[in-house]
Amino acid sequence: MRTRKLGSQGLQVPGIGLGCMGMTIQYGELDDVESVATIHHAIDIGLNLLNTSDAYGKGKNETLICSAIKDRRSEVILNTKFGQMTNSDGTGGVDGRPVYVKSACEASLKRLGTDYIDVFSQHRVDTDVPIEETVGAMARLIEEGKVRYIGLSEAAPETIRRAHLESPISCVETEYSLWSREVEAEILPTCRELGISLMPYAPLGRGFLTGTIKSIDDLIEGDRRSDHPRFTAENIAENNAKVAVIEEIAKAGGFKPAQVAIAWVLAQDSMIVPIPGTKHRKYINENARALDIVFRDDQLKALSNAFPVGDTAGERYPAGQMKKLGL
């Protein structure tokens, strides 16, 4: 497994990680047995960076990972997140208070069945708490040996700078793919300047860039993507025209569209570590093969031209969730 640096503090990770969210949040059918087998297979081939959050399934995702790695903790690089809350009435909030940082870490350690977390990240920025206070509390967890490295998720460039001054940030997790390229304007350049890795989630556009979602009927009942603007019938039809370019390049090279989409993200910077999500063993091998793709300049240009920045039909999240991004 080819590796990359995650940040500038010395952590080496596989070139791609495994996003585990879909193992407990409905993107297609859920299957705990296959999910655990998928984690085992990922570890077996060296794809051992596991990305999760205490918000995924209200802790269920971390508990599932615990069951999968209980005898293999030393083989795994764990990245979990904190701070995104779901209230009893279904509304959401964010908590970045130092006292909560500590309690959230303790709860995640217990659910994960470990005494340390490799990378502990703030899931969303709390605008009511100075980022220095939140990151300061995260840094104290490093001093206590409960956390090795720290990260942010969906933070604005100025927030990233302030956080990094308080304590070195290893990674910034954000959505980045051919159909979500807004980070190229400021966030990616900021990370390059500061020696911070970008950790793109949804590099496959929540499955859309695989070419397997041609209509709203391809999503099962209850699939969360049905609530996302990009997955309305009208926007699916418009966005599918772009996917044809991915499919053509994939076919010419003997690859799958998913591999081409991941490889495009990898090609944008050597410190980018995408975390495509899957809960099926067969896709682990397919995703890993993206590391072998070397594009010609004309292919990179064709892909970029097919997906201009800001040209994707529909916002990437429902309106309420969009308000929590880039803070």
Distance between CA atoms of 71 and 117, rounded to whole angstroms?
16
Residue 178 lies in a domain: yes
d(CA 281, CA 261): 19
Which residue bears the tokens 């995640």? Answer: 108
DSSP, residue by residue, 146-173: SEEEEEEES--HHHHHHHHHHS---EEE
Could you tell me whether strands 84-86 and 92-94 are parallel, antiparallel, or unpaired per DSSP bridges? antiparallel
Task: Give domain status of residue 126, yes or no.
Answer: yes
pLDDT of 326 reads 66
Catalytic residue among 56, 100, 149, 176: 56
Report d(CA 98, CA 89) in Å as an integer.
Answer: 25
Among 20, 28, 23, 76, smallest CA distance to 51 is for 20
With H, G, I as helix, E, B as strand and everything else as coil, classify residue 73: helix
pLDDT over 70, % of the chain: 97
Q: Give the integer Cα–Cα distance in Å for 168 and 44.
A: 31
pLDDT surpassing 90 at residue 274: yes
Tell whether the model's pLDDT for residue 236 goes beyond 80.
yes
User: Which domain, by its residues, includes 47?
Assistant: 3-205+269-291
Give per-residue pLDDT as tens, 5-42: 999 999 999 999 999 999 998 677 889 999 999 999 99
Domain-located, residue 84: yes
Residue 111 tokens read as 């659910």
Decide the pairing of beta strands 92-94 and 117-122.
Answer: unpaired
Q: CATH number of the domain at 41, please.
A: 3.20.20.100
Give the strand order in the sheet containing 147-153. 18-19, 49-51, 77-82, 117-122, 147-153, 171-175, 197-201
In the chain, the number of structural domains is 1
Residue 304, in any domain of the structure: no
Q: What is the pLDDT of residues 64-105, one digit of tens each?
A: 999 999 999 999 999 999 999 876 555 678 999 999 999 999
Q: Are 165 and 138 in contact (CB under 8 A)?
A: no
Q: Is residue 193 part of a domain?
A: yes
- In-domain check, residue 259: no
100 is catalytic: no
The answer to pTM > 0.85 is yes
Q: What CA–CA distance (Å, rounded) separates 213 from 246?
A: 14
Establish if 211 belongs to a structural domain.
no
pLDDT at residue 217 greater than cutoff 70: yes
**Minimal CA–CA distance to 327: which of 171, 131, 149?**
131
Q: Is 262 contained in some domain?
A: no
**85 neighbors 56 (Cβ within 8 angstroms):** no
Interval 121-162: pLDDT, tens: 999 999 999 999 999 999 999 999 999 999 999 999 999 999
List phi, psi (to 5°) of 282: -60, -30
pLDDT at 301: 95
Positive or negative, the CA dihedral 252, 285, 316, 34 is positive
